Every structure is written in structure tokens, then in C-alpha cells.
Amino acid sequence: MAEIRAEVLLPTGDLRKDIPFFTKVLGMRMDMIYPADDPSVAVFSGHGLRVRIDRDAQNPPGVLRILTEDPDRFAEGARGLTAPNGTRVEIAPLHEPLVMPETVHSFVVRRLADQAPWIIGRAGMHYRDLIPDRLGGSIIASHIRIPDGGPVSDMVHYHTVGFQLIFCYRGWVDLVYEDQGEPFRLQAGNCVIQPPEIRHRVLFASDNIEVIEIGVPAEHVTTIDHEMELPNGPPDPARLFQGQRFVHHRAEEAVWAPFRIPGFLSRDTTIAAHTGNVAGVHVVRPGEGEVPASVHDSDILFTFVMEGRMTLNADGRAPHSLEAGDAFVIPPGMAVRYDDLSPDLELLEVSLPGVFETTPVQTVI
């Protein structure tokens, strides 16, 4: 195949002044200059960029962004420069920093019956927002579906996140992860956590696959990795990614135990233990005994109704009748009680942090 190159075209009024700026200040290499007697064009390359500066160019001078792991050591620490030809140069960190906003607590109820149309997002997947206000940008919870099964047009990528959960709600999906061996099938009722920046890819999905995806913070960067091929090897399942370990929780291997709220049972996905208590994930169902009102002190407590029906009674709020597909967020300190539980009720609860205090309260709700 014939070689193909791309370059950015910039104008100039005095090429002689631009040459030392692009070579000495920005550290680029001059690859070409002409004509010899009165140069009007010079081509520079560096930092993954090729720039042509042309005295006859009619376009605006534009903006160059230079990304570096150590901005303080580049261009004497300047964050903004202007070249003699008018081009503005911005110097920024090579890796987008992870910003964790402070949680803006609110009581949220999101009912499937009231939901607006699904939004088509990345790789053709349909997205439904479960926490519209994002709690001030601290979390995003999405109900995602792929109506037509088959190969998924995904690429190897990773997310700059603090925490990310994929819970398979309906159907199944084939996934592959960095250092976790061969691709595997994530079945309904099972989940994985995607530790920060672990490379992964969605390969194949069943018809009408549905997953619940939780991301912290709400806005985070997704980066395509064009170099890594998955699966990679040899496997290293114990590897830590920024202090978190990959978890594939399988429902058939789980043990049911009393839940934090009396009257319920839960299966612990062990995610709290493998994230250093960053987050916890439980699947919850009715047990024996009366369910009291209670308050909690978790920063974020999100619940998705997977099966069955219930009534959510919250202090100072009208009762909410909930069914499969509905979701809610309970802020810390708010007294709530789960009532009118159907025998087939099943909840997915996600908390940040993973372990927190729940206190039964004597109150009329």
C-alpha cells in the first residue's frame, strides 16, 4: 500500500521567526524547507504531529494542543503560548485527570413506565438513564440493551474511572478482559467490575441483551487502545488495577446470607473486598421477619428493581409503587421502609462505599 501522511496547515507572515519557535520552544524537528533563496514553506514533525507552515496559506492560525506526562518540564512550564504566526499552543497533561465530584445528595425514583425513549449510544447500544441528575456528577447508572444479537461492533478500550460495574440483567454477552484469559460469557444474574483502565472488549451478545452499568464519576473518558490485542497472556487474574481486582461474580456460586436490612437476604458479590471498599454490590430478595424502617450513612445508595414489586415509603414523600425496571436512590439520613414485597422481588443494590452503617428507626412513614 502506498504511504499516506496527514499534516496540519498553518499560515505565517514571517517564517524565519516561526522556525526557532517550533524547533526550540516546542521541540519539533524541521523536516523540509523551501525554496532555498527565500523560504516560504517549512514542515515540522514531533509529538505525533506533522505541521506545514506556508506563507501563502489563507486559513486561520488555529490552536495546537500538546499533551505531556510532565507539563511543568515542557516549554519552561508554560500552559499557553502564541507562535509568531499567531497559532495558539495549549500544553496539557497527557492523561486526563480523574475528577471525583462531591456527591449532591437527592432522593430519586426512576420508573420504567414514565421513561422517555431509549438513546442510541456507543457501538449502537441503547441507553436509558437511571439517575437523571447524576447526583452532581458523582455517578451514572445506565440501563443498556442491544435489541438484535450477534457480533458487537466494539474495539479494545478502557475507561478512566473510579469504579465501574456491569451487571447482566437479561440474556448474555461475551466479553474479554486484559490479563483475564480467554473470552467468557456473562450470563443473566452475573456481573463483573471493570477496574480502572483495564482493557476490554464486548464481542457477541444474545438477542435482547440488557445490562445495568454503573460508572463513577458520571463523566469519564473512554480511550480506544489500538495496540493491544485481546486475549493477551499469560493470564494474571490476581493483578491489581489501581488497587482494584477484576471480579466475575457468578450467581450459581454465591451464598445467601442476612442482609443489612432485617427481613431480607442477599448474595454478596465480594466486590467490596476486591475494591478496597470503594463500592459494594448485593443482589437482594425477601427473607423472613418484619422489615423495619431504617436510615443509612452511605454516600451513594442506588437500587434497581430486577424482578417483582414493592412499595417504597420514604419519610416526607408519597409512597412509590415500584416494579421490574424501576430504580431509586436513597440519600444518607433519610428514613425509608420497603413494603408490600412480592415473593419474587429481587433487587440490585450498589453502594459507595461498600461497607456502611444501617440503623433501624422507630418512625411512622
Which among 264, 328, 331, 258 is positioned nearest to 291, based on CA atoms?
Answer: 264
Q: Can you list the alpha helix ranges (DSSP code H) found in 146-296? A: 271-274
Reported as a single tens digit per residue, the pLDDT across 217-233 is: 999 999 999 999 999 98
pLDDT-derived band at 364 (thresholds 50, 70, 90) equals low
Distances (CA, A) of 22 to 10, 40, 41, 81: 12, 15, 13, 11
Distances (CA, A) of 76 to 28, 80, 167: 15, 11, 47
Residue 365 is predicted with a pLDDT of: 67
For the record, the C-alpha cell of 81 comes out as 503560548
- Cα separation, 140 vs 129, in Å, equals 8
- Cα separation, 284 vs 261, in Å, equals 10
Residue 118 is predicted with a pLDDT of: 83
pLDDT-derived band at 166 (thresholds 50, 70, 90) equals very high
Domains defined along the chain, listed by start:
8-93 (3.10.180.10), 114-239 (2.60.120.10), 253-361 (2.60.120.10)
Residue 298 is predicted with a pLDDT of: 98
Residue carrying the nine cell digits 480502572? 196
Q: How far is CA 109 from the centre of its chain?
A: 22
Q: How many Cα atoms within 13 Å fall on the side-chain side of residue 341?
A: 20
Residue 147 is predicted with a pLDDT of: 82
Q: Give burial (CB, 10 Å; 0-12/13-18/19+) of 346.
A: middle
Q: Give burial (CB, 10 Å; 0-12/13-18/19+) of 270.
A: middle
pLDDT-derived band at 1 (thresholds 50, 70, 90) equals confident
Reported as a single tens digit per residue, the pLDDT across 31-77 is: 999 999 999 999 999 999 999 999 999 999 999 999 999 999 999 99
- Cα separation, 284 vs 259, in Å, equals 7
Cβ count within 10 A of residue 244 = 24
My answer on whether omega of the bond before 93 falls inside 30° of 0, hence cis, is no
Q: What is the CA radius of gyration of the chain?
A: 26
Which among 307, 312, 322 is positioned nearest to 169, based on CA atoms?
Answer: 307
For the record, the C-alpha cell of 301 comes out as 445508595
Q: For residue 176, what is the enclosing H or E element?
A: strand 172-177
Q: Which is it for the CA torsion 104, 108, 112, 117, positive or negative?
A: negative
Q: How far is CA 273 from the centre of its chain?
A: 20
Residue 120 is predicted with a pLDDT of: 81
Mean pLDDT of the residues in the chain: 95
pLDDT above 70 (res 297): yes
Residue 123 is predicted with a pLDDT of: 63
For the record, the C-alpha cell of 147 comes out as 435489541
Which among 283, 347, 269, 255 is positioned nearest to 338, based on CA atoms?
Answer: 347
Reported as a single tens digit per residue, the pLDDT across 226-254 is: 999 999 989 999 999 999 999 999 999 99
- Cα separation, 312 vs 329, in Å, equals 11
Q: Can you list the alpha helix ranges (DSSP code H) found in the chain? A: 15-20, 271-274
The conformation of residue 138, written as its DSSP 8-state character, comes to T
- Cα separation, 286 vs 280, in Å, equals 19
pLDDT-derived band at 300 (thresholds 50, 70, 90) equals very high
Interval 161-173 mean pLDDT: 97
pLDDT above 70 (res 83): yes
Q: Are strands 300-307 and 327-329 parallel, antiparallel or unpaired?
A: antiparallel
Cβ count within 10 A of residue 105 = 18
pLDDT above 80 (res 162): yes
Range with lowest mean pLDDT among 117-126, 204-213, 214-223: 117-126
pLDDT-derived band at 122 (thresholds 50, 70, 90) equals low
- Cα separation, 241 vs 310, in Å, equals 38
